[in-house]
Amino acid sequence: MDELAAVPVSQAPTQSRTSDVIIEATGVTKSFGDFQALSGVTMSVRQGEVVVILGPSGSGKSTFVRTLNRLEPHDGGRIVIDGIALTHDVKDIEAVRREVGMVFQQFNLFPHLTVLENITLAPIHVRRWPRDKAEQVARDLLDQVHIPEQADKYPGQLSGGQQQRVAIARALAMQPKIMLFDEPTSALDPEMIKEVLEVMQDLAQTGMTMIVVTHEVGFARAVADRVVLFDEGTIVEEAPPEIFFTAPKHERTKRFLAQIL
């Protein structure tokens, strides 16, 4: 569970983070048929902040993160990303998605493309970069996630940890302002979790705004500026990790922590 205990922790300098709000969600609701997945979620995230979302399965944490780049349209409330309100407007949605990278539990790499092609696809076809530039950026990113030698392989030839690092590189290639992580290590074998968390921690230290849905408490302790507990579609508790894990206010949080710690 505590994968990061062995990792040298050097907390990013918080003073460099500005207080500009980049994600503003107000009273967000979402239901699937009769099931109310989100019942009024309000959260704001400042630029450079790392927010870790915890919660039992079915608590709506993944759904919430997926509404932030409108992979799930929300039913009610208001979401503003970097000054753009998410509505049905396709132009706005695509503009938001260009600025928001996402990493999935199942990696969702494109199996018919090589690692390099996975990473350069969006920069070439969405950002309209020349291929040379896109490939240069992609190779730099592969260096950054420590797998430069895998550029010409197909996703099916990589281990889970490697695939997830490629997925992170793919999301970063669009040079997003925000990164969403939807249980990035839940589908990984235990020995591969650390390599992915390390990459995420490095990313946090560059000042990237991150929202991370995870069960990795060690990561939350070491990297998060704020930890949020979801339950039954709402936020139960929201606090800096020092307080969240040692002195939680709510009974629900205590019960949750008792189960996972």
Partner 1 sequence: MSGLTRAVEGWREEWATMRHQARLRGPVWIAWQVALSVAALGLIGLVVYGLGAWAFGAADWTVVAANLRLFSVGRYPADEIWRPATVLALVTAMSGWEAGRTGRAALARFFGGGLAVLLALPFLAPLVSGASPSMAAAFAAFAGGHIAQLAALGALAAAWWIGARASAWASTNRPRARRLERASLVGYGLVVLAILILLRGGGGLERVSPSDWGGLLLTLLLAAFAIVLSFPIGVLLALGRRSSLPLVRWVSVAWIEVIRGVPLVTVLYMASLLLPLVLPEGWNPENVAKAVAGLTAFASAYVAEDVRGGLAAVANGQYDAAKAVGLGTVGMYRLVVLPQAIRAAVPAIAGQFISLFKDTALVLIISLRELLGIAIVAANQPAHIGRFRETLAFIAIIYFAFTAVLSSASRRLEAPAHERERDDAPAPSPKG
| Smallest gap from residue 154 Cβ to partner 1 (A) | 5
Contacts of 217 (CB under 8 A, 6+ apart): 1, 2, 54, 245, 260, 261
Comparing CB distances to partner 1, the nearer of 59 and 163 is 163
Question: Judged by CB, which is closer to partner 1: 71, or 243?
Answer: 71
Check the CA dihedral 108-72-190-222 and report its sign: positive
Smallest distance from the beta carbon of 200 to partner 1, in angstroms?
A: 17
CB of 111 to partner 1, least distance (A): 5
DSSP string, 97-150: HHHEEEE-TT----TTS-HHHHHHHHHHHTS---HHHHHHHHHHHHHHTT-GGG
Q: How far is the CB of 155 from partner 1 (least distance, A)?
A: 5
Chain positions contacting partner 1, by CB under 8 A: 66, 69, 71, 90, 94, 97-98, 100-102, 104, 106-112, 121-122, 125-127, 131, 147, 150, 154-163, 167, 170-171, 174, 187-189, 191-192
Least Å from the CB of residue 82 to partner 1: 14
7 vs 187 by CB, closer to partner 1: 187
Q: Is 249 helix (H, G, I), strand (E, B) or coil?
A: coil
Degrees to nearest 5, angle at CA 177 with 129 and 40: 135
Residue 59 or 162: the one with the smaller Cβ distance to partner 1 is 162
Q: Which is nearer to partner 1, 185 or 201 (CB)?
A: 185
Question: Which residue type sits at 236?
Answer: V
Residues 69 and 33: their CA atoms lie apart, in Å, by: 21
